[in-house]
């Protein structure tokens, strides 16, 4: 090797030549001494430049001396890509990252060094699978010279423009992956991750190691990050950011406003608004937080946006974009609270306004609203991201506008400029707003200077736009054919046609970049390095389903597949934004059901643990967020289904109730807008079946687990640790109950909680008693379970009402306690006794009730029939009311109208002479409720609604023909109601052979029913039929009822439940009765006579079955819950004989002699007993 040294203008040069060296060779620029030594030793590079800070190797001569050169090797000088006008002394210093010091050395390079390319260590080969087009200001653009490239926008200038724009020098030979340009600088990343930068080095935005203000006219490799694979680059006003292959973000340049997102250590107490950061900051990782990886970046003038792989948006910089923060968090990236949970897929940064796009096509804008660039007239500054409303969209044709459908507002891409915004709709149109002084909206500037309304711009050739970029006063648009359109003062012009452009960028004052592919048919730019990319939701779901199928088909992989399912489930749950991408509730329900049933117990437990962790992490990420937008809150509905895992009692899940408490607390803390969104999602997307299965039952399972009480051998009650979550679970269930009631998505029975209904009745009654005793203020401060009666089954409510009646009976008894001094004893009368003759049942009963003291009526009722020896322990009372019902509620008694037939009891409007009769009936009705006895009464549901004080409507009209006619009036679509129906506000009916008329409002006979007043007509008509016409009769009935049931808890019941409480259920399921029957006296279910008894009952006609029930239980109907809830006993009544069966109706006990296997004997004797026997006696 021959060395020779030359001195020129004070520059040290070392040149090494080798005979026969090819003119075309690769060159490497090293900032790392170790990499340089390794490259020379391996012979992979002939040219290098390095510097060090520790004195070991500080010049090329030292580096060459320290390296072993291959035999015959030589060196050639490298090309630093500098313009001849720039001094070699101003070249970027090379930093040795392996040095322990921060010393930098600026290495001089000869003029000869400007003849060869500088490449990466990987010896990157020339790539020609893309074409680069660049135009605008030469100093800040990528076209390898300082000349300004200004396009001509005439019709015949396309070919000359294409030739002018195409970069044919160094970058023209590279495959470009991503590019960006701004006011002072431009940058691009190649398909192999190399970053090239160019422009004016303001505050270090191009190269922080170069002098301030230095102009780099030709794109150069930023060697201080040469070991970083760059996937994306974004240029701000005076700072730059890159996204690396591993998902980290590096930023450099000015940090005056904290836009770099670097960790900030401030030892002085300063206000965050007063502090200014440094400039010329070197590349450093943005502090996104542990585990977060970025998927996209965007730089504005003084801020930076970062979209993570799990769709969360972080921002740093000026407060109008990034929000205000404490001094100790100055400059740190933070999540935008109001965007938490949104499935964000696109971001854009303008001068001082920003925008994001969700996966569902909603665009949000915030920041300075100059010239209406935020799609609204006011305010001047939007500190909260606001959605672009469909109502603001209009179609632009010239300057005229017309309304456009909401389907066109779905956004897929957005670009922000200095004071304008361009949205690309999924339909292929542009939606624009803001300043248009230079025609940057694609509209003739002479016709429109600015707009705060979103205007729709169609493709001039009928095509579809796919993306857009914006500069200060210009915009660049790409269509689906790969043609590029630019804006000028006259509107949109096509400047690149037929080149298959795949990517564009714009920024600053007219700087633009376009990248096309040489490969025919290519739809994307190709990356030639691996990158840690996030799994989208579709992929996660598909992966889980695939693992489930593998597990079901091959049991040997169950453990591994189960662990993977657990991992994917946890990942899905801990990121609400990702979970919000799943739109189909059916698909979600199917997947969750398969997950919860996957594998053996150990596998399911592993999955359950992962689900619990994922739920907690996901819900914690929502804490503190505003969640005011519909797309953000949808995940809350998806979370609910995962609590179905509690149905497996072998699985340990959320023992302390932390996950369910966190969920309910989160959903209860959302604002009203979010609640309305949840309401719409739940009522519109979920069918009746899915609503109950996915939203109600999981919460009921959680409630049942939290209310579970265990009792040990010492009869000590132990409550679950998760009991603290009961109030919030009930509050959320109240929301869904209201939704279901409004939209008719579920039946009341779907909300009955087994856990609550199985609670000790004394505990529930104590809760009820405390609630009724509390003032309204105290009720608002304390939780009462009985304040939410929709959770209680009818049977549970019946038990509460019975206990309440028993307590009241005891109080009335104690008020009547007397002390007899003569006998030295206390006299107590615990009963209200009725001694009645069967032949005069109604007359004597009504007379005794008239004469009764009100306090006596509220004692326990005891009935006896004169001449009969039966002792009333409940059975005599039941028959008493049964017989009384048959006479009192006979429609031919004159108290009830017969216009609705014999099977319906409604007040007779013509009966104005017997008010006391209705009052006494009300008392008897109340006594039946008070003493828990069924009545054979056929009231319509409207009566029970009136008892509970609930409003009445058209649905409560008993006359089906009238109801149908009024509904037709309301639903009539035409505007000629007056001519078609010919109605006035006067009604006519026949009563006792006479025609009667009534005006529904003053002068109603002269007021026609029209389209405008038909609802009022129906309202007044219904009110008259159900309220006004029977007001006198109803008042009397209600007075009698309240004599007995005053202050009772009837309001626990729904109208349908109250009807069941009064009359029982007509469906008689004797199979359920058989399953619930107990046997005594030596019988069991396998006894011959017992088998014959059930055979007889099941084969008997319905009339015989009803008579049997009346014979054995003194009732013709089943209690609440059906016959399966009724205690029934079959007791042996001696050996075989000719005796008829008897019963204890008080205790629902049938006394059946042992007829053995003789079925005919049982049939005859039992049949005679139930058909012929009547009355009570004593044995």
Residues classed as catalytic: 1146
DSSP structural state of residue 445: T
Contact partners, residue 387, CB within 8 Å, separation at least 6 = 362, 363, 364, 629
Cα–Cα distance, 407 to 361 (Å, whole number): 10
Helical segments of 18-165, H only: 33-42, 60-65, 158-165
Question: Is the torsion defined by CA of 535, 541, 544, 549 positive or negative?
Answer: negative
Cα–Cα distance, 879 to 1114 (Å, whole number): 5
Cα–Cα distance, 386 to 313 (Å, whole number): 15
Contact partners, residue 1092, CB within 8 Å, separation at least 6 = 1155, 1157, 1158, 1159, 1162, 1163
Q: Give the H/E segment covering residue 677.
A: helix 672-685
Phi then psi for residue 869, to 5 deg, are -95, 5
DSSP structural state of residue 867: T
Strand ranges, E, within 417-474: 420-425, 430-435, 450-457, 465-470
Q: What is the 3-state secondary structure (H, E, C) of 271-324?
A: CCCCCCCCCCEEEEECCCCCCCCEEEEEECCCEEEEEECCCCEEEEECHHHHCC
DSSP structural state of residue 169: S
Phi then psi for residue 88, to 5 deg, are -65, -25
Token readout for 591 is 């997947």
Distances (CA, A) of 52 to 14, 42, 62, 108, 789: 17, 21, 10, 14, 79
Q: Give the H/E segment covering residue 945.
A: helix 941-947
Cα–Cα distance, 980 to 987 (Å, whole number): 17
Gap between the terminal Cα atoms of the chain: 133
Cα–Cα distance, 91 to 220 (Å, whole number): 11
Q: Give the H/E segment covering residue 179.
A: strand 176-181
Contact partners, residue 1035, CB within 8 Å, separation at least 6 = none
Cα–Cα distance, 714 to 350 (Å, whole number): 72
Closest CA to 181 of 633, 504, 438: 504
Number of H helices, E strands in the chain: 33, 43
Cα–Cα distance, 151 to 131 (Å, whole number): 18
Closest CA to 580 of 308, 310, 336, 341: 341
Contact partners, residue 1019, CB within 8 Å, separation at least 6 = none
Cα–Cα distance, 928 to 1050 (Å, whole number): 13
Token readout for 589 is 């329900």
Query: 317, 334 in Cβ contact below 8 A?
Result: no
Cα–Cα distance, 644 to 596 (Å, whole number): 8
Cα–Cα distance, 359 to 310 (Å, whole number): 12
Helical segments of 1100-1157, H only: 1102-1113
Q: SS3 of 60, please?
A: helix
């Amino acid at each position: 090797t021959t060395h020779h040294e030359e001195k020129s203008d004070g520059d040290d040069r070392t040149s090494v030549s080798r005979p026969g060296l090819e003119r075309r060779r690769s060159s490497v620029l090293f900032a790392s001494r170790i990499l340089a030594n390794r490259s020379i030793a391996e012979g992979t590079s002939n040219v290098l430049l390095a510097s060090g800070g520790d004195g070991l190797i500080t010049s090329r001569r030292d580096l060459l001396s320290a390296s072993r050169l291959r035999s015959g090797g030589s060196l050639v000088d490298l090309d630093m890509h500098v313009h001849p006008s720039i001094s070699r002394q101003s070249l970027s210093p090379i930093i040795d990252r392996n040095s322990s010091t921060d010393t930098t050395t600026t290495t001089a390079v000869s003029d000869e060094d400007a003849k060869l390319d500088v490449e990466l260590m990987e010896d990157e080969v020339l790539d020609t699978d893309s074409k680069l087009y660049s135009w605008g200001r030469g100093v800040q653009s990528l076209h390898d010279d300082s000349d300004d490239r200004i396009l001509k926008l005439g019709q015949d200038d396309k070919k000359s423009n294409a030739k002018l724009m195409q970069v044919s020098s160094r970058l023209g030979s590279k495959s470009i992956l991503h590019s960006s340009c701004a006011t002072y600088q431009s940058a691009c990343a190649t398909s192999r991750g190399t970053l090239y930068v160019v422009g004016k080095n303001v505050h270090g935005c191009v190269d922080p190691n170069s002098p301030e203000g230095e102009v780099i006219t030709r794109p150069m490799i930023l060697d201080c990050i040469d070991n970083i694979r760059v996937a994306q680059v974004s240029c701000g006003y005076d700072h730059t950011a890159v996204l690396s292959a591993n998902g980290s973000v590096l930023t450099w340049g000015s940090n005056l406003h904290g836009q770099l997102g670097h960790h900030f250590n401030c030892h002085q107490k300063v206000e965050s608004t007063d502090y200014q950061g440094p400039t010329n900051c070197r590349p450093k990782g943005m502090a996104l937080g542990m585990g977060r990886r970025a998927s996209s970046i965007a730089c504005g003038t003084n801020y930076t946006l970062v979209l993570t792989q799990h769709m969360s948006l972080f921002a740093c910089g000026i407060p109008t974009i990034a929000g205000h923060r404490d001094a100790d968090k100055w400059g740190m990236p933070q999540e935008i609270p109001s965007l938490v949970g949104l499935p964000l897929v696109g971001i854009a940064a303008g001068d001082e306004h920003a925008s994001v796009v969700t996966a569902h096509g909603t665009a949000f804008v915030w920041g300075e609203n100059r010239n209406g660039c935020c799609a609204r007239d006011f305010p001047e500054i939007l500190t909260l991201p606001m959605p672009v409303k469909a109502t603001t969209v209009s179609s632009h044709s010239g300057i005229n506008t017309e309304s456009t459908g909401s389907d066109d507002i779905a956004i897929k891409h957005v670009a922000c400029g200095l004071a304008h915004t361009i949205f690309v709709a999924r339909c292929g149109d542009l939606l624009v707003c803001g300043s248009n002084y230079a025609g940057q909206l694609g509209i003739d500037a002479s016709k429109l200077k600015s707009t705060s309304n979103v205007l729709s711009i169609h493709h001039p050739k009928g095509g579809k736009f796919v993306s857009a970029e914006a500069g200060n006063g210009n915009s660049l648009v790409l269509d689906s054919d790969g043609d590029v359109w630019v804006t000028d003062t006259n509107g949109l012009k096509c400047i690149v046609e037929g080149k298959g452009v795949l990517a564009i960028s714009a920024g600053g004052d007219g700087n633009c970049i376009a990248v096309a592919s040489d490969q025919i048919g290519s739809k994307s730019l190709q990356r030639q390095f691996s990158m840690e990319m996030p799994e989208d939701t579709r992929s996660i779901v598909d992966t889980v389903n695939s693992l489930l199928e593998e597990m079901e088909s091959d049991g040997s992989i169950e453990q591994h597949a189960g662990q993977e399912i657990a991992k994917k489930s946890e990942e899905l749950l801990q990121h609400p934004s990702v979970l919000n991408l799943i739109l189909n509730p059916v698909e979600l329900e199917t997947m969750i059901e398969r997950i919860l049933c996957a594998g053996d117990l150990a596998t399911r437990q592993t999955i359950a643990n992962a689900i619990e962790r994922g739920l907690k992490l996901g819900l914690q990420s929502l804490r503190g967020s505003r969640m005011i937008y519909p797309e953000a809150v949808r995940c809350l509905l998806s979370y609910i289904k995962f609590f179905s895992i509690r149905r497996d009692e072998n699985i340990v899940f959320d023992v302390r109730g932390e996950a369910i408490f966190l969920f309910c607390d989160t959903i209860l803390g959302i604002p009203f807008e979010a609640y309305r969104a949840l309401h719409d999602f739940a009522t519109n997307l979920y069918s009746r079946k899915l609503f109950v299965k996915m939203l109600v039952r999981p919460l009921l399972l959680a409630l049942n687990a939290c209310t579970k009480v265990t009792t040990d051998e010492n009869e000590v009650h132990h409550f679950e640790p998760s009991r603290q979550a009961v109030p919030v679970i009930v509050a959320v269930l109240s929301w869904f109950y209201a939704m279901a009631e409004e939209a008719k998505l579920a039946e009341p029975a779907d909300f009955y909680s087994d856990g609550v209904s199985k609670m000790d009745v004394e505990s529930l009654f104590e809760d009820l008693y405390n609630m009724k005793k509390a003032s309204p203020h105290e009720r608002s401060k304390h939780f009462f379970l009985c304040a939410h009666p929709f959770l209680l089954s009818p049977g549970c409510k019946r038990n509460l009402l019975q206990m309440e009646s028993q307590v009241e009976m005891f109080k009335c008894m104690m008020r009547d306690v007397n002390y007899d001094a003569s006998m030295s004893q206390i006299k107590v009368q615990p009963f209200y006794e009725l001694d009645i003759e069967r032949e005069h049942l109604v007359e004597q009963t009504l007379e005794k009730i008239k004469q009764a003291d009100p306090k006596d009526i509220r004692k326990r009722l005891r009935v006896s029939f004169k001449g009969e020896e039966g002792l009333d322990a409940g059975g005599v009372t039941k028959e008493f009311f049964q017989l009384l019902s048959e006479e009192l509620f006979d429609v031919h008694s004159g108290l009830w109208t017969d216009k609705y037939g014999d099977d319906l009891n409604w007040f007779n409007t013509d009966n104005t002479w017997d008010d006391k009769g209705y009052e006494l009936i009300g008392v008897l009705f109340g006594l039946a409720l008070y003493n828990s006895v069924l009545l054979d009464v056929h009231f319509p549901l409207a009566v029970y609604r009136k008892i509970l004080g609930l409003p009445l409507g058209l649905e409560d009209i008993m006359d089906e023909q009238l109801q149908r006619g009024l509904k037709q009036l309301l639903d009539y679509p035409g505007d000629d109601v007056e001519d078609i129906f010919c109605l006035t506000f006067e009604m006519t009916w026949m009563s006792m052979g006479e025609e009667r008329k009534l005006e529904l409002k003053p002068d109603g006979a002269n007021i026609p029913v029209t389209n405008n007043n038909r609802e009022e007509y129906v309202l007044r008509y219904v009110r008259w039929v159900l309220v006004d016409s029977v007001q006198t009769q109803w008042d009397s009935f209600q007075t009698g009822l309240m004599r007995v049931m005053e202050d009772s808890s009837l309001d626990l019941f729904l109208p349908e439940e109250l009807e069941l409480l009064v009359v029982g259920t007509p469906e008689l399921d004797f199979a359920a009765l058989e399953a619930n029957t107990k046997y005594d006296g030596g019988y069991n279910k396998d006894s011959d006579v017992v088998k014959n008894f059930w055979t007889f009952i099941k084969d008997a006609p319905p009339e015989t079955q009803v008579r049997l029930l009346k014979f054995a239980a003194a009732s013709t109907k089943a209690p609440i819950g059906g016959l399966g809830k009724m205690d029934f006993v079959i007791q042996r009544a001696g050996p075989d004989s000719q005796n008829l069966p008897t019963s204890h109706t008080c205790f629902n006990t049938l006394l059946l002699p042992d007829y053995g296997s003789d079925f005919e004997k049982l049939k005859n004797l039992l049949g005679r007993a139930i058909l012929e026997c009547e009355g009570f006696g004593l044995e």
